[in-house]
């Protein structure tokens, strides 16, 4: 592996200096407001730059991490070694009749608003999901009866060798909050959604209704990663946690939300370690009381301090 100075020079040759930051604090890039620094934080502006950075990381054996909108991640206090890439500068959207093509750094909330603006129905479910389009494909994000799988036609991805591929949605194995994007180390660059013509008043009414439900049930006033756990078959994670008497349980400044037991909030300045300890404590208590394993939905990445 090249030393950090040589590596920096190679990265800026590809992505240019203004798109590369060294020792970049990542807290503000995550919804939990947790985590240490990235050695190199790269925000490419073209698909070609993405391809070349991936190739470089592969050839130089540098660890590579993709950070979407940080709404389903806990970054540990020691930060992330190697290259962290964020695609927020690739966020264009184009509509052609009932097809919406979106670059993966755009937010899925923006994509659902673009659909509304073009009188297209199908993406209303995503109007409050705070992820990027890439992260939404990775997780097959969904809410209130809809999910990415229902509307995704195809995607453009980069593989670990920097090669571009156009894949049909069926090739991603999209299932409940999962896909094969991680195992294939794909970087999603673009998504094509197939929607239907609709009445903008109906579309807006649905989005307003879902937003109201979300705001009244979720503790959006505190940083969090959303639902910490997947829905265990036959149960609701929040209900199991509530019935275990864990609501309000706190480790440091991490707390099981008083508003929605499926959420853990960062009350002020908690550490990633406290947040993770609380997740593990909840898993342990629910297993002891109900013999149910709560599988994490949120990803934990990075190094301990």
Residues catalogued as catalytic: 177, 227, 297
Question: Binding to ligand FAD by residue 131, rule CB under 6 A?
Answer: yes
Q: Which of 225, 241, 251, 254 binds ligand FAD (CB under 6 A)?
A: 225
The answer to the question of residue 50 lying near ligand FAD (CB under 6 A) is no
Other beta carbons within 10 Å of 46:
12
Distance of CA 241 to the CA centre of its chain: 24
Taking CB under 6 A as the criterion, the residue among 19, 37, 43, 72 binding ligand FAD is 72
Residue 36 within binding range of ligand FAD, rule CB under 6 A: no
Regarding 14 and contact with ligand FAD (CB under 6 A), the answer is: no
Token reading at 141: 């994000």
Nearest to ligand FAD of 56, 187 (CB atom) = 187
Comparing CB distances to ligand FAD, the nearer of 2 and 93 is: 93
Q: How many residues of this chain interact with ligand FAD, rule: CB under 6 A?
A: 33
Of residues 98 and 125, the one with the C-beta less far from ligand FAD: 125
Options 12-20, 46-54, 69-77, 264-272: segment touching ligand FAD (CB under 6 A) = 69-77
Largest CA distance in the chain: 57
Residue number, 287 or 299, with CB nearest to ligand FAD: 299
**Residue 135 touching ligand FAD (CB under 6 A):** yes
Q: Map the footprint of ligand FAD across residues 153-182, applying CB under 6 A.
A: 181
Cβ 132 to ligand FAD shortest distance, Å: 3
Q: What are the φ and ψ backbone dihedral angles of 247, each rounded to 5 degrees?
A: -65, 130
Q: To the nearest whole angstrom, how small is the minimum distance from the Cβ of residue 27 to ligand FAD?
A: 13
Q: What minimum distance in Å lies between the beta carbon of 65 and ligand FAD?
A: 7
By the rule CB under 6 A, 104 interacts with ligand FAD: yes
Q: In whole angstroms, what separates CA 275 from the centre of its chain?
A: 18
Nearer to ligand FAD, 141 or 169 (CB): 141
138 binds ligand FAD (CB under 6 A): yes
Smallest separation (angstroms) from ligand FAD to the CB of 24: 15
Q: How far is the CB of 182 from ligand FAD (least distance, A)?
A: 6
CB contact set of 221 (below 8 Å; sequence gap of 6+): none
Strands in 99-103's sheet, in edge-to-edge order, are 93-96, 99-103, 187-194, 152-158, 164-168
Would you count residue 34 as binding ligand FAD (CB under 6 A)?
Answer: no
Interaction between residue 44 and ligand FAD (CB under 6 A)? no
Q: Considering only residues 253 through 292, tell me which ones interact with ligand FAD, judged by CB under 6 A.
A: none
Q: How far apart are CA 168 and CA 20, in angstroms?
A: 32
Task: By CB under 6 A, name the binding residues for ligand FAD.
Answer: 31, 66-73, 87, 104, 129-132, 134-136, 138-139, 141-143, 181, 186-188, 218, 220, 224-226, 299
């Amino acid at each position: 592996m090249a030393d950090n100075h040589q590596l920096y020079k190679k990265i800026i040759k590809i992505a240019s200096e203004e798109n590369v930051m060294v020792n970049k604090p990542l807290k503000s890039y995550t919804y939990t407001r947790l985590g240490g620094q990235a050695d190199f934080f790269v925000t490419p502006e073209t698909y070609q730059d993405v391809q070349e950075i991936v190739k470089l990381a592969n050839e130089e054996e540098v660890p590579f991490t993709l950070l979407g909108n940080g709404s389903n991640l806990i970054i540990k206090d020691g930060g992330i070694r190697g290259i962290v890439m964020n695609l927020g500068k690739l966020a264009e959207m184009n509509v052609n009749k009932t097809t919406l093509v979106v670059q993966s750094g755009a937010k899925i909330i923006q994509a659902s608003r673009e659909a509304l603006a073009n009188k297209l129905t199908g993406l209303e479910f995503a109007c409050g999901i705070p992820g990027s389009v890439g992260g939404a494909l990775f997780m097959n994000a969904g809410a209130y009866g809809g999910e990415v799988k229902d509307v995704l036609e195809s995607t453009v991805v980069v593989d670990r060798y920097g090669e571009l591929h156009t894949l049909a949605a069926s090739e991603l194995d999209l299932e409940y909050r999962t896909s094969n994007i991680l195992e294939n180390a794909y970087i999603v660059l673009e998504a094509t959604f197939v929607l239907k013509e609709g009445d903008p008043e109906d579309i807006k009414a649905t989005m307003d209704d879902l937003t109201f439900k979300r705001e009244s049930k979720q503790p959006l006033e505190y940083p969090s990663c959303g639902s910490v756990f997947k829905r265990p078959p036959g149960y609701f994670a929040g209900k199991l946690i509530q019935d275990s008497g864990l609501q309000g349980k706190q480790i440091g400044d991490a707390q099981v939300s008083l508003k929605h037991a499926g959420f853990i909030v960062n009350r002020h300045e908690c550490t990633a370690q406290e947040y993770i300890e609380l997740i593990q404590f909840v898993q342990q208590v629910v297993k002891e009381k109900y013999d149910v394993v709560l599988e994490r939905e949120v990803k934990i990445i990075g190094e301990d301090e």
